[in-house]
Structure 1
């Protein structure tokens, strides 16, 4: 939730009326005090689930913001970690939080991997196939469904063969529940805002649907697995409240292959 250190209503309004880039530049100094930051419980659960799949040499935090996911990669990668974001303000805060590269790991022992934060558009990543692991937290609402094929293809291109693309997804709220109406209302307000004002600020909570995501990942050349994040329990129908999607780069993309079960 918001804290006294977080942004005021006026500051949030100014952000929402800006472009995505400028809006996050404005929000950056207070971003970590908002509910928009991925909770530590999710970050820790994903890190725990990914650890047995390693070790990883190099990692990329896609749309890294102030670096919360980058810190997860520091615990998983041995050589180097890169964060990429379009907001200069968010990257500036991230650099101050993460400190110098190659510093001692929090648990002691070997130095942590080098860390670099890069300003770039996630839809046009300026890297070759150099990463073993790509993660992303809480960023997909900033991409329209029609942008997912290009986004996923770009991630595929920066992974080494056999590299993994991992991110958490939370089960949608039950239709008719308070959260259902809250998210529907938020998306409706943003659609109206984007219809009458430029530049647009793309931020929707109900457009990133798991079935669509699995299909587009398969078309981009990934083999996809779903891992329940058991820390968050299950819904009444027995399905997990939260999952981690792990998409592995195949040697050859196959646009016709169905997503993994």
Structure 2
């Protein structure tokens, strides 16, 4: 399916009926041949938007998957680059593609890093977290950054109701909710559970100064709104006074 090198429909079905971790372990060898891999256009636009916001020394790819985001860190960071994910299969693919980076298996809801990074990025991961899980994720990234460090990740905006993509996205989320209501273990993957406003609020609560900028080179919806926003969350240089 998708391409001759991609997974078959049967393989995708088995993955969808597995847990998130087990599903990605199964999909890992063929993941880069699916549309689920972050497109190079998004990686390039993110790199360009961050290039004037450095310099950066050490970089962290949060929920790194098969390692596509490492190209962004290697372009921007002058020091050590580390990827973290809970799928052993995905980490094996990432290590094969980028053997000179460091790869760590961990649950990012309990981030295992001390404050050492200047830049943290994440691509396509928020849909795998329920809204109540995002505060722990953002707090962990905040702890892993040095004062003044930056957490950046692109987030797709919802198409207007007049667009076919709006209803396709809604249908996908409804299908996943039905699947998780009748089948265990759950597979958490939603497109509509993390609105931009709520994400910015959770980042601010975690201690970041957060904003969003439009990645205009990635196009617009029919109503003129950007298809993709880049979230920029900066850890303050010093703690705010009580």
What CA distance in whole angstroms lies between the structure 2 residues aligned with 1:36 and 1:253?
39
Query: Structure 1 residue 10 and structure 2 residue 6: aligned?
Result: no
Separation in 1, partners of 2:74, 2:173: 34
Corresponding pairs, count:
241
Match among 247, 250, 261 for residue 233 of structure 2: 247
In 2, distance between residues paired with 1:195 and 1:254?
46
Choose 1-10 or 135-144, whichever is displaced more. 1-10
In the alignment, the residues of structure 2 paired with residue 195 and residue 233 of structure 1 have an alpha-carbon distance, to the nearest angstrom, of: 36
Q: How does 1:112-131 map to 2 (within 5 A)?
A: 115-131=101-117
The question of whether the paired residues in 2 share the 8 Å contact of 1:221 and 1:253 is answered with no
Is residue 2:47 matched to residue 1:47? yes
Aligned pairs for 1:215-226 (under 5 A) are 215-226=201-212
Residue 136 of structure 2 corresponds to residue 150 of structure 1: yes
State the secondary structure of the residue aligned to 2:229.
strand
Deviation track 1:36-77 (CA, whole Å, cap 9, x = no partner) reads: 101000000001111111110001000000100012101111
In the TM superposition, what is the alpha-carbon distance from 1:234 to its structure 2 partner?
A: 3.3
Residue 20 in structure 1 maps to residue 15 in structure 2 = no
Contact (CA 8 Å) 2:122, 2:152: kept in 1 or not? yes
> Is 1:139 the equivalent of 2:125?
yes
Question: TM-score by structure 2 length?
Answer: 0.95
Do the aligned partners of residues 229 and 27 (structure 1) sit closer, same or farther apart at CA in structure 2, a change above 3 Å counting? same
* Unmatched segments (≥5 aa) in structure 2: none
Question: SS in structure 2 opposite 1:30?
Answer: helix
Tell me the alpha carbon deviations over residues 184-231 of structure 1, each in whole angstroms, 9 at most, x when there is no partner: 111111111111111111000111110000111111111112222121
* CA positional deviation for 1:253: 6.5
Contact in 2 for aligned 1:220/1:254 (Cα 8 Å): no
Which residue of the partner structure matches residue 175 of structure 1? Answer: 161
Deviations 1:156-204 (CA, angstroms, capped at 9, x unpaired)? 1111111000001122111142111111111111111111111111000
TM-score, normalisation: structure 1:
0.88
Whole-Å Cα distance in 1 between the matches of residues 93 and 54 of structure 2?
Answer: 29
